[in-house]
Structure formats: C-alpha cells, structure tokens
Amino acid sequence: MHVKGSFFTTLSQRMTVVRTEETHCNLCGGADRDKLDEELGFGIWQCRDCGLVYVSPQPCAEELPRFYEEMYPNADEATVAARGFGWVERHIAAIVARRKPEGGRFLEVGCGYGALLEALSPQPLELHGLELSETAAAYARTRVPTASIETGPIEDAAFPPASFDVIALIAVLEHVKDPRAVLERLTALLAPGGLLIVQVPYPHPYIKLKRVFPRLPVSFEAPRHLYGFSPVTLERYFREAGLTAIRTEVARPYSGASRLHAGLIWAVKIPGIVLAKLTTGRWIYPFAAAIVTHGVKK
Ligand SMILES: [Zn+2]
C-alpha cells in the first residue's frame, strides 16, 4: 500500500502490512468508540471516554521494523533536504534553551537524519540519539560528530534510569504501538527535574472537517500513524507518567512542497500560535495540525 502525505507533510511512502490486530484505547482502556474515518482499510476511532484517537486494526509489532526501513530508503542530500523545513527543530531547541538553560544530558528518540541534534549543538548539552533506521543513523553521525547515536528500539535501549536531563521526540509517539509504556519508560530515564518534550500531529479536527468537505487535502496517514493526540489527551498521558509543569504549544510547519505551500501552512498556524501565546497555552487552536507538549519529572 502507499501511505500519502497530507497538506501538512509531503512525506509519502510505500508500506507493507501483512498481519494486523484489533486494539482498544491505550489511554483509558475504554472500549466505547466512534468511527471518524477509514484509510486504506484501517479504521480511525475516537474513544468516547477520554477522546484519544487511534487506529484499529493496527499492524502487529513485528511489522514495524520494516516500516522504518521503508521510511528512510536512502540518505542523499535531496531526500534529507525534503524531509523538513527545520522550523520544528529550531522551535524545540528554543524550548530546551528556555526550560534547561544549564544544559545537561540530552536524548532524542527517533533522531532520523539528525536535524534536531544539529540545531542543539550550540547548547551546553551532551547529545545522544536513538534511531531505528541504520541509514538515517549513519547520516546523523556524520552530520553531528559530537553526538553519540545508537540504533534500536527504545524498549531495548540499555540506558540506566535517570540517565538524561532532557528527552525529546519529534513525530515519533504517533507511530508506536503503546504510547503509555513508551512515556513511562522515558520518564524513568529522566533525572528528577528532567524535561520531556513531545511533538506530535493533532489531526482529528481536520478528519472531522472532512465529513463536511470531503475533498480537503488532509489525512490521518493510517497505518503509519497509529494515534492522534490532542492537548487534552497528551497532557493526561504526561500527568499519568509522573510529569508536572506541563505546557502545550502549536508546533511549527514540518515540511512542504514549495515556498507557497510553506506560506499557506504558516497562514493556517499563525492564529493558533498567537492565541496559544496570549493564553499561555490554555487555549490551543483545534486546527493547529501538530502540537508540542513539554513537562518536568517530579
Ligand atoms: Zn480512552
């Protein structure tokens, strides 16, 4: 099957799924749900109890390593340049500088081609990256020689508890099978007072809008995306993982096909960025398309 990008990301890829399994709400365990849409035969559901949006059936866990090979087919300059504008990385680097000016040990889970590690290299941080794709990790090691980059899933990484002062994930949590387990594991890897930063798509207001405007060029990107988070559901995950001082912001544009396209994405997001700033994150525009939530370990 071919999972296409949407208005908010140009990334489009082949994906082979052989085995699937039914799933229920990962956040509250509830089984009551409403169907929002279906893409490539995968249902997109919203939990009636907590509002989490999730794909069911989902590809089985053993299907996922192949997905990351297909996501990073090569590391030529054009592929790397097309992957992102760099605005998301600069925004997250600014959050790190604001909340952890003293620096410390930093881990990015899913560091891809190393764009965030590069953006953070001027800061007083000891940089670590973890990546599933060997191709992407090899590129990131040359791009950021000061960073220590390992390959493998976070579930298998041999970091001792409380190893890091900051952990960040860009466009990772929506791909994992068990976001609750991953967030609990990451919180355990943070030292007390450590900062967790998670950037994810916030797609379902657009999926609901497609019921009225079916030709809207947006998609959930099932089944490469397994979850759709909102400020409410992501902040609940953070609280239940043991994080505090939680803030949510509108994420910056990720990728686009042209300057015009980039300008249109900014035009959609700027009202949300301004309103989030004016309300210090208490009101996040439902058409923000992606959010960044950050919080501190107690
Ligand atoms: Zn739920």
CA of 31 to the centre of ligand 1 (A): 7
CA of 25 to the centre of ligand 1 (A): 5
Counted domains in the chain: 1
CA of 54 to the centre of ligand 1 (A): 9
Tens of pLDDT, residue by residue over 155-167, are: 888 899 999 999 9
- Alpha-carbon distance of 117 to 17, in angstroms, equals 31
Name residues whose C-beta falls within 8 Å of residue 234's C-beta, 6 or more positions apart in sequence: 198, 200, 248, 291, 293
CA of 50 to the centre of ligand 1 (A): 4
CA of 158 to the centre of ligand 1 (A): 31
- Alpha-carbon distance of 160 to 153, in angstroms, equals 15
Per mean pLDDT, which range of 5-19, 89-103, 204-218 is the poorest?
A: 5-19
Sheet strand arrangement including 125-131: 148-151, 125-131, 104-109, 164-170, 190-202, 289-297, 243-250
CA of 80 to the centre of ligand 1 (A): 36
CA of 52 to the centre of ligand 1 (A): 5
CA of 29 to the centre of ligand 1 (A): 6
Query: What is the residue-averaged pLDDT of the chain?
Result: 92
The answer to whether 144 and 121 have CB atoms below 8 angstroms apart is yes
- Alpha-carbon distance of 149 to 106, in angstroms, equals 11
The answer to whether 91 and 276 have CB atoms below 8 angstroms apart is no
CA of 225 to the centre of ligand 1 (A): 17
CA of 46 to the centre of ligand 1 (A): 8
CA of 177 to the centre of ligand 1 (A): 15
pLDDT value at residue 128: 98
Tens of pLDDT, residue by residue over 232-272, are: 999 999 999 999 999 999 999 887 778 888 888 899 899 99
CA of 110 to the centre of ligand 1 (A): 26
CA of 49 to the centre of ligand 1 (A): 5
Distance between the two ends of the chain, CA-based, in angstroms? Answer: 43
Helices (H) and strands (E) in the chain, counts: 9, 15
Domain enclosing residue 107, as ranges: 2-297
CA of 33 to the centre of ligand 1 (A): 8
pLDDT value at residue 10: 67
CATH of the domain at 167: 3.40.50.150
List, in sequence order, the alpha helices (H) in 133-258: 134-143, 179-189, 204-209, 231-241
Bridge partners, residue 131, by sequence: 151
Tens of pLDDT, residue by residue over 38-76, are: 999 999 999 999 999 999 999 998 887 777 777 777 777
CA of 204 to the centre of ligand 1 (A): 15
CA of 139 to the centre of ligand 1 (A): 39
pLDDT value at residue 82: 72
